[in-house]
Structure 1
Amino acid sequence: MTVPPPPPPPPAPKGNGPLLVGLIGGFLALCLLGVCGVAVVGVVATKNGRKGSPRVVAGSTYSPPEAVPATTPAPPPPPPAPARIGQCIGVDTGGNFLGIGNCNGTSGTYQVVSVDYDQRACADPGAPYITVTGYRLCLEHHLVRFFCYKFPKEEGWVVHAPKCKAKGTVHVIDIVPGASNSAGCTRDRKWNRWYRFTHPTVVYCVMQY
């Protein structure tokens, strides 16, 4: 009786070495193509058990926007000046502004020499001035021959006489700039009094009524 040969031994199990080598080689190939980061993110996402977009772990470059500095609103423009340099104005006996007149003697007894919204001192510290709508108007006397005015008794403002030759009015006969007395007054016309003003210095030779 013939004995059958024993069955062949089972095939030896294949090792995981070639598989690991293949995975490592594939991973290195992905890194060379610049996509290994995507694979790592996918691994992290899978490890964390999340689906969809991976969680941002670190490396944020976010910074809050810079605060816009507060700006101070521009101041409102100044109101229009009540008069211009060179114009003649009228005032009352208290120095209150009566408006722009003219320089020919019919209205306006002071001429404007400066207009300053900052109300700084006049170039001539002793010059008369008034303040109107925030402006300082520095002035000088502007009287005209043969017109009538009312002079202050001491300090005060020269104003137009409402009626010439009325009591207390003066009729200007001559004007002598820079004089200190009546020596320069005219001898061709009659006058009975003289007045000297400063800022600027001038002598008025007048007929006083």
Structure 2
Amino acid sequence: MPPPRPGMTVPPPVPPKSNGPLIIGLVGGLLALCLVGVCGVAVVGVAINNNRKDGGPQVAAGSTYSPPEVVPTTTPPPPPPAPARIGQCIGVDTEGNFLGIGNCNGTSGTYQVVSADYDQRPCADAGAPYITVNGYRLCLEHHLVRYFCYKFPKDKGWVVHAPKCKAKGTVHVIDIVPGASNGNRCTRDRKWNRWYKFTHPTVVYCVMQY
């Protein structure tokens, strides 16, 4: 600016402009943006940008992760087929060993199967004879037929078919009386010379013993 001439009025200097209103306006605008959610987006953007600069989010030191243990489900194998079904008749030897399925008409099979249990629980009739075959407990009852020949045990034991009828030590079944306690109700129409009482179930066999 040229120096003032004599008699010339010099205007006062123009005060410098202040940035205060501009800064206040920017801060107010930023606060308004934060109120409508833009600020949050901006902050998230800054955080994402920082993560990119730092190589991605960091796992806190000492933290561990292990997937939950998968407990294997195991299904027990099915039991083998039962050696005999309920109602079938089976044969045994004098020791009670299983000889196979017979029939119930007297030609084979001296015991009838009452139950076949793979869990080997006690028989419903606690005193009933039973054998164990292929893991099954077979609960049994005597099944003898009139006019067929058998071998009875002298004391406790198993009834088996007689290899030959009327052979020494065999018995010929003449009559069968369920629920009887002695031979009083045995038939009088045929000859017999002895009776045997069995339990589980209770029955009397009237026989001709040889």
Q: Fold match, TM over 0.5?
A: yes
- The answer for unaligned runs of 5 or more in structure 2 is 59-63
Q: Give the TM-score normalised by the residue count of structure 1.
A: 0.81
Match of 1:21 in 2: 24
CA deviation map 1:116-144 (0-9, x unaligned):
22222222211111111222111111000
Give the aligned CA root-mean-square deviation in angstroms: 3.1
Q: One-letter code of the match for 2:37?
A: G
**2:176, 2:89 → 1: CA distance?**
18
Look up the match of 1:117.
Answer: 118
Q: Contact between 2:186 and 2:206, CA under 8 Å: does it hold in 1?
A: yes
The question of 1:158 aligning with 2:159 is answered yes
Contact preservation (8 Å) 2:110, 2:142: yes
Structure 1 residue aligned with 2:134? 133
The percent of aligned pairs where both chains have the same amino acid is 76
Looking at structure 1, the residues matched to 178 and 47 of structure 2 have their Cα atoms a distance apart, in angstroms, of 102
Cα gap change, 1:31 to 1:100, in 2 (>3 Å): same
- Matched residues in 1 for 2:52 and 2:201: separation? 93
CA gap 1:16/1:86 in 2 versus in 1, 3 angstroms: same
Q: What is the alpha-carbon distance in structure 2 between the residues aligned to residue 31 and residue 56 of structure 1?
A: 25
CA shift in 2, pair 1:21/1:180, >3 Å: same
1:141–1:51: structure 2 CA closer, same or farther, 3 Å change rule? closer
Please state how far the C-alpha of 1:35 moved relative to its aligned partner: 0.8
Q: How does 1:57-206 map to 2 (within 5 A)?
A: 67=68, 70=71, 73-206=74-207
C-alpha distance 121-22 of structure 1, shift in aligned 2 (>3 A): same
Query: Which letter does structure 2 place at the counterpart of 1:153?
Result: K
Amino acid at match of 2:175: D
Distance 1:185 1:51, change over 3 A: closer
Letter in 2 for 1:23: L
Runs of 4 or more consecutive aligned structure 1 residues displaced over 4 Å after TM superposition: 2-10, 41-46, 53-57, 63-66
Distance 1:187 1:118 in 2: 46
What is the CA-CA distance between 1:41 and the residue it aligns to? 5.0
Mapped to 2, the partners of 1:51 and 1:175 lie a distance apart of: 98
SS of the residue 2:31 aligns to: helix
Gaps of 5+ in 1: 58-62
